A = this chain, B = another copy of it.
């Protein structure tokens, strides 16, 4: 048994983002994956990971919850009683207030909890995560510092923040991107030939988010308490602009 023996990491959820977690962390931890929707846990590049039930996840040193925000409460209720003291639990949801309240409520007091929101996805991190950003919300325990240091070693820019500050800013960042993507994608195929540099950027931005799954849209548009305010402001401004053009 060498001094560099890997910690075990239990990953719940092997959807688009769970796969990205496995791709990036598979070399650093002994991974165990749990997702009832998959028989095995195999990446596109052929790498296969051990799979297990929630009991085996709960026995890991680190547990990462990569499930839709709407499933967090159910998962934490089941998982909570199985966890051992000293386990470190992280989530990766696009919204932080709700999921972190759920973790605080349902996970035992003797586990450490860190909320994260990787500000990237399978599209934008296609070439790797170096240079991408991740929001980190410490909740319970001091090991968020170890997590932050580890993520920085992966090349990530770590933004330490609170759930409220996160949700407020993410509502603008992700809300506006998705609103604009929705408006434009419904206008039909966008021009590709006679384009300006600024339009090319706009089209690239939309291409990155237009295939986001409904679970991500739910987190951004419904689970974030500040999303409705951003939408209202956007639509009000559009309406004001329409009136100006008509005048």
Instruction: Kindly identify, within residues 147 to 184 of chain A, every residue whose CB is under 8 Å from any CB belonging to chain B.
Output: 159, 161, 166, 169-170, 172-174, 176-177, 179-180, 182-184
Mark out the residues of chain A between 193 and 219 whose CB falls within 8 Å of any chain B CB in the assembled complex: 193-199, 201-202, 204-206, 208-209
- At the interface with chain B, which of A13-21, A34-42, A85-93, A234-242? A234-242
Q: Does A70 belong to the interface (CB within 8 Å)?
A: no
In the complex, the chain B residue whose C-beta lies closest to that of A172 is: B191
> Which B residues touch A190, using CB under 8 A?
172, 176
Contact partners of A180 in chain B: CB under 8 A: 180, 202
| Chain B residue with Cβ nearest A228 | B245
Inter-chain contact A205/B201, CB cutoff 8 Å = yes
Q: Is the beta-carbon distance between B204 and A201 smaller than 8 angstroms?
A: yes
Q: Separation in Å of the A40 CB from the closest CB of chain B?
A: 30
Does B166 contact A197, Cβ atoms closer than 8 Å?
no
Residues of chain B within 8 A of A186, CB atoms compared: 237, 240-241
Asked if A231 is at the interface (CB within 8 A of a chain B CB), the reply is yes
Question: Is A233 touching B187 in the complex (CB atoms < 8 A)?
Answer: yes
Chain A 45-69 interface mask (CB, 8 Å, partner B; 1/0): 0000000000000000000000000
The answer to whether B187 and A234 touch across the interface, beta carbons within 8 angstroms, is yes
Q: A183-B241, A184-B176, A205-B202 are in contact. Are A196 and B235 (CB under 8 A)?
A: no
> A106 at the A/B interface (Cβ < 8 Å)?
no
Kindly provide the distance from the CB of A117 to the nearest chain B CB, expressed in whole angstroms: 8
Contact B231 A124 (CB under 8 A): no
- Point out residues on A near B: beta carbons under 8 Å: 119-121, 123-124, 132-133, 135, 159, 161, 166, 169-170, 172-174, 176-177, 179-180, 182-184, 186-187, 190-191, 193-199, 201-202, 204-206, 208-209, 221, 228, 231, 233-235, 237-242, 245
